[in-house]
Structure 1
Amino acid sequence: MGVPELKNKIQLQLELADERVLRIVSSVFDNYLNEIVSCDSKGNAITLLEYHNKVEEGLEDVKYKRVTSKEKLEIEMKDWDNE
């Protein structure tokens, strides 16, 4: 069973689920999204939800051209040595 079929199956099962099952499923998702998956540049833990949010922010930055070119970054980095 592939991912689309599995998602469809779960959606159908959720439609028939009682409150107890829905609370269990909600708890599983809460735990999954709050799982530590990485660390930021300062060593602080990042949850899966925070990671996904950071990825979305990055994609928005690219979409709206809020990025620095490699060339501009290299020039900026040279100034870092003088600080």
Structure 2
Amino acid sequence: MLLLLFVFISTNTAVLVLRRDRVEAPHFRVPFVVPVLGIASCLLLLWQQEARTWTFAGILLAVGVLLYLVTALPRRRAEARERTPVS
């Protein structure tokens, strides 16, 4: 649920950013209030999530960061060895 709400927040934020772009071709423009209400409703729903949900999301995020570091460190060492000139 949290991930989906964050995706909706980022999508509505992108709509607000893209509204500023001027294009020559005719296209649909959503009223400004729609993505603002979308962001506000997502924030309200995030606010109502239980602590257990946030804890589980934090644990999953920590595991993801740990897995990234476990795979990134050997890769960086290998790249450093490749860049070192051989005498």
Question: Which is bigger in relative contact order (C-alpha 8 A, separation at least 6)?
Answer: 2
TM range (shorter): 0.3 to 0.5
The structure in which a higher percent of residues are strand is: 1
Using structure 1 for the length normalisation, give the TM-score: 0.36
Using structure 2 for the length normalisation, give the TM-score: 0.35
The structure in which a higher percent of residues are helix is: 2
